[in-house]
Every structure is written in C-alpha cells, then in structure tokens.
Amino acid sequence: MLLAAAFVSYAGPFTSKFRAGLIKEWIKFLSDKGAPMTEGIKDPLSLLVDNAIVASWVRQGLPSDPTSVQNGTILTNSERWPLMMDPQLQGIVWIKERESKNNLQVIRMGADNMTVVMERAIEAGHSVLIENMGESIDAVLNPVITRSTFKKG
C-alpha cells in the first residue's frame, strides 16, 4: 500500500517514462529497507484498479494508453481536487461523461455566474468542473479549495 500511496501522491506531474523510473526506484528502496511487500508487485496500478474499472473508464471516453490509465487512477484515488492540464481535451471528455450522473456543473474561471453556480452545486452535492483556470485562482475559491467549512445552526 505504501507504493500505491506514493504513486497517487507524487507521480501525477511526471511523464510516463519518469513515472516508470520512480516506481522502480521506490520498489528497490522498499526492498532494500526490508519493508513487507507482496511478491512480484511491479506496478502500483494493480493495487488501485482492476481491468473492469479501466474498461468502464474507456467506455466513458478515457483513452486506453498507459499514461491516461495512470492519470485516471491518480484522479480517482486522490483526496484532493486535481488540477489537470489537458491540451488534447481527452481528460475533460472523460470527466464530463463520468460525472454526468452527478449533475456536473461546468463553469469557466471568471464567469459572471461562477460563484452562484459553485454555491448551488456545493449545497446540492453536485460535481463542478472549472475550465480555463490559468495560473492564479480567484480568492473566492480559497475556502472551497482548502475545505474550510463550518456548520450553521
């Protein structure tokens, strides 16, 4: 599980080739330190997803290449909200299809109705996809991003 947690936590921003090197180094490090590990584990994805889950993702529009599957695994096993750089718009298509059952609300950063849409979606428990984030985040989103919540009444 340590290998899987490290993969989800740290491998996201890297290329597929670099991720493969990280996994090899992590397995060697854990073996050298005598950490208990299941024999033959070469890929943390085998601990996080199975072929049926990957097949459902592909039906929802996720490309079946290893990097896309790794990205989908990281996204679905993360506790925090992911920031996706998606120049080919493949991930966006997948998320829109995947979250359509959760009444996905798609908004653009800086749109006139952004705060109203966010507020209503959060109150109703709906998913929100913010497109075109840019390099800075609107201050109105800080409480959402940092999960600064309070109960009233």
- Could you tell me which of 106, 104, 109 has the C-alpha nearest to residue 132? 109
CA distance 2 to 33: 13
In tens, the pLDDT along 8-56 reads: 999 988 988 999 999 999 999 999 999 888 888 888 888 899 999 999 9
Q: Tell me the C-alpha distance between 149 and 71, whole Å.
A: 28
Q: Which residues is 108 bridged to in the sheet?
A: 131
CA distance linking residue 6 with residue 93, whole number of Å: 27
The predicted-structure confidence for 85-101, as pLDDT tens digits, reads as follows 887 888 889 999 999 88
Task: Report residue 109 as tokens.
Answer: 């950063």
Give the global pTM: 0.80
